């Protein structure tokens, strides 16, 4: 093509290359700013779709972790209360044993009975306050606890373990009489066995939830790593690319400037 002031091919090519460098530079800056090499479906449609599905799985498992944490806390409250009740029963047994000794005077028996009754009242208080998020597993009216354990809806069922004085059979126990003290000792022994069995059941359920929580946490971490492998930008590589593109941009500007100055040489053809 001859020399023309209407069509500057060199300037058009330089502008195309400069625009291409600007687009690449913009993408690289976005990668560095967000830390992602795939920010949307335009970057890589299939990779973005896979990453979004994995993010959905992660969100579901995070919800499961929350449910497991709530269930674990409910169980921990029940277990802590059960241990306190077990300690109370141990103290009550000591009082019952003392009340069964021969020749115990009336004042001592009354004092032991008062202590025994006070411990039972405290036991009832513990039962009524062993609640987390509106759920109490050790009252007489307690129902089973159902804990979400997987994203597909599977659950862990925790059986309620009533530990109130009525259920344990010690509501009417007393040490005011020698015969009553003997009966109370038998009832306390049975209550201790019952609470021990209940604690074992709660502990087994708590361990199961703990194991499931650990597994879910590890699975979430693996999925997060997988998403990162798919969409995270290599910042070292992006940094090197940024410097190269900035140089290309500067050279492109210079090339465009040179190409735009080309038509001015036409003036020399008409010089005198």
What is the model's pLDDT at position 10?
Answer: 78
Report whether 25 contacts 245 (CB < 8 A). Answer: yes
What is the model's pLDDT at position 154?
Answer: 94
Per residue in 51-99, pLDDT (tens digit) is 999 999 999 999 999 999 999 999 999 999 999 999 999 999 999 999 9
Does pTM top 0.85 for this prediction?
Answer: no
Mean pLDDT of 109-125: 94
Per residue in 167-196, pLDDT (tens digit) is 999 999 999 888 999 999 999 999 999 999
Compare 154 and 235 and report the one with higher pLDDT.
154
Of 53-57, 126-130, 256-260, the poorest mean pLDDT is in 256-260
Three-state SS for 104? coil
Nearest to 209 by CA among 91, 65, 20: 65
Compare 235 and 268 and report the one with higher pLDDT.
235
Report whether 171 contacts 165 (CB < 8 A). Answer: yes
What is the model's pLDDT at position 143?
Answer: 93
| Tokens read off for 236 | 């070292």
Compare 162 and 249 and report the one with higher pLDDT.
162
In terms of Cβ atoms closer than 10 Å to its own Cβ (0-12, 13-18, 19+), residue 192 is: middle
Mean pLDDT of 26-51: 87
Q: How confident is the model at residue 271 (pLDDT cuts 50, 70, 90)?
A: low
pLDDT over 60 (residue 161):
yes
pLDDT over 80 (residue 230):
yes
From residue 155, alpha-carbon distances to 145, 151, 152, 180, 220 in Å are 10, 10, 9, 46, 18
Mean pLDDT of 152-170: 94
What is the model's pLDDT at position 272?
Answer: 53
Of 73-87, 120-134, 210-224, 236-250, the poorest mean pLDDT is in 236-250
């Amino acid at each position: 093509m001859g020399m023309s002031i209407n069509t500057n091919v060199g300037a058009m090519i330089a502008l195309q290359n400069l625009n291409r460098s600007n687009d690449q530079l913009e993408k690289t800056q976005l990668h560095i700013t967000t830390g992602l090499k795939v920010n949307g479906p335009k970057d890589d449609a299939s990779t973005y779709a896979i990453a979004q599905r994995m993010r959905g799985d992660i969100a579901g498992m995070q919800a499961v972790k929350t449910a497991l944490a709530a269930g674990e806390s409910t169980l921990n409250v029940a277990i802590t209360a059960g241990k306190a009740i077990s300690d109370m029963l141990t103290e009550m047994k000591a009082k019952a044993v003392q009340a069964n000794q021969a020749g115990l005077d009336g004042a001592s028996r009354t004092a032991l009975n008062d202590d025994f009754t006070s411990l039972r009242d405290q036991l009832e208080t513990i039962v009524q306050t062993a609640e987390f998020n509106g759920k109490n597993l050790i009252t007489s009216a307690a129902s089973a606890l159902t804990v979400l354990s997987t994203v597909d809806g599977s659950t862990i069922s925790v059986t309620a373990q009533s530990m109130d004085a009525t259920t344990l059979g010690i509501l009417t126990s007393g040490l005011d009489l020698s015969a009553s003290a003997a009966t109370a000792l038998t009832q306390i022994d049975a209550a201790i066995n019952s609470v021990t069995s209940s604690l074992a059941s709660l502990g087994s359920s708590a361990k199961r939830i703990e194991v499931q929580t650990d597994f879910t946490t590890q699975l979430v971490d693996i999925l997060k790593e997988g998403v990162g492998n798919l969409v995270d930008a290599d910042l070292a590589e992006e940094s090197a690319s940024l410097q190269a593109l900035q140089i290309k941009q500067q050279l492109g500007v210079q090339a465009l400037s040179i190409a735009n100055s080309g038509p001015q040489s036409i003036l020399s053809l008409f010089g005198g």
